[in-house]
Every structure is written in structure tokens, then in C-alpha cells.
Amino acid sequence: MDPWVWWLIAAVGLGIPLVVTAMPEFGMLAVGAVAGAVTAGIGGGTVLQFIVFAAVSVALIAVVRPLANRHRGQSPQLASGVDALRGRSATVLERVDGGAGGRIKLAGEIWSARALDGDQVYEPGQQVDVVEIEGATAVVI
């Protein structure tokens, strides 16, 4: 059997743990094995095939892995649910204070609300900003 076939078998063999364990490093090693197969197919010697395999695998791990780790640590850009309501403006419908609270119109819906500062009072028609959602109550400033 030709050496390039063995490299392709190795690439498939490295692709199986990639799928089973979801470790991307196996995929990078599989790409290195394909590069070794290409080197064997164009007539490169055994030593050159292993050098190409190692160089491509190490280069992919050195470049792709830090990029993937950086993206994995980022939070999603799209907020949903009550997270999407934080920072939005609302209109006061009923007097809002720090005690009994009141009502606001937020994102087309009527919410109960209370002032973040207990001494602050907002009258109907005023614009307020939502700081937090606690249960079914919006905390506003």
C-alpha cells in the first residue's frame, strides 16, 4: 500500500476521537496527517512526510487554539429575556417610588416598578431607565 494511503487512514483515525471527544486538537492533527499524505503523494520522502505532519499540526495548534480559547471566553452579543430589558428606557404610568412602587411601560408591556433610590419619586409621563429586573419588578432610575 502507498504511504499516502496510510496517512489518510491516520487522518481518519484522528478524526474519530475528534468527533467522540470534541477536542479540536485531534482535528488539527488530522489536517497534519492529510498534509503528510499530500507530501507522500507528490513524492516526498518519509522524513519529509513526518516533518510536514509535525509542522502543520503544531502550526495549527499554535494558531487556532488561542483564537478558539479567546472566542470561547466571550459572552454572547445578543441579550434575551430580562437581560435584554436592562438599560432600556421606559415611561412611568403610575407614580414610582422606592416604597410601594408603581407602574411603567417597558418594551410595550406594563411592568411593576420601584425606584433604585428609595427617596426618588417619578411621576407619570417621565422617562426612566431600567437598572435591574427583580422577579416581576423593574428597578429604575
pLDDT single digits (tens) 84-128: 889 899 999 999 987 778 999 998 999 999 999 888 999 999 999
Indicate the CATH number of 83-140 among 2.40.50.140, 3.40.50.450, 1.10.10.60, 3.40.50.300. Answer: 2.40.50.140
DSSP 128: E
Annotated domain spans of the chain: 3-73, 83-140
Tell if the pTM clears 0.85, that is, is over it: no
Partner residues linked to 138 by β-bridges: 113, 133
Q: For the segment 24-77, what is each residue's pLDDT rounded down to a tens digit?
A: 889 999 999 999 999 999 999 999 999 999 999 999 999 988 888 888 777 667
Query: How far out from the chain centre does Cα 108 lie?
Result: 29
Which residue, 92, 90, 99, is CA-closest to 119?
99
**How many helices, marked H, and strands, marked E, lie in the chain?**
3, 5
